[in-house]
Amino acid sequence: MKSLLKIIIKILVIALILSLVIDYCLVMMRNTEPLFTYKEEGNTKYSLIYKINYDNDIVTFYLFNIKLGEKDLKAPPEWEIVDHTGKECNPVKTYFFTDDAYNYYFDCEQKYYIKVGDVEYTLKNALENNILTISDLEETYIKFNKEAK
């Protein structure tokens, strides 16, 4: 009888942990409402062991008052790449961005622009003004190189 009780308690603990993980994933990754709240005060929703704070466009998830994660809900601007290079590319090393660790360059004079709505920005200008990041650029078809400073 005692072993059956232990098994039931273990199953309940595992179910609780699993439900918390699922709730956390849904809130932080899918931008959904939490599943298991019992109280709301202002911009904060409470559960038995966690709370979620909605402040402007930022959602913060706490477990036992320990901050687990924070997510900005503002949608990034939609952008597209426009290539004005033409058929021939002058073979010269062309630097287009630099950060604390690397200098980024093309092997030839590429003329890429980033279009947001009706406005086109140079690639350098778009990176400097945080319209996109180097990691965003790495996920595109654009091939570039980097060298350590």
> pLDDT per residue over 52-95, tens digit each?
888 887 888 888 888 888 877 666 668 889 988 888 888 889 99
Whether this model's pTM surpasses 0.95:
no
Q: What is the mean pLDDT of the chain?
A: 85
CA dihedral 10, 11, 17, 21 (to 10 degrees): 150
> pLDDT per residue over 117-133, tens digit each?
888 999 999 999 888 89
Mean pLDDT of 35-62: 84
User: And the tokens for 124?
Assistant: 């350098």
Is residue 104 within 8 A of residue 144, CB to CB? The reply is yes
Helix (H) or strand (E) holding 134: helix 134-138
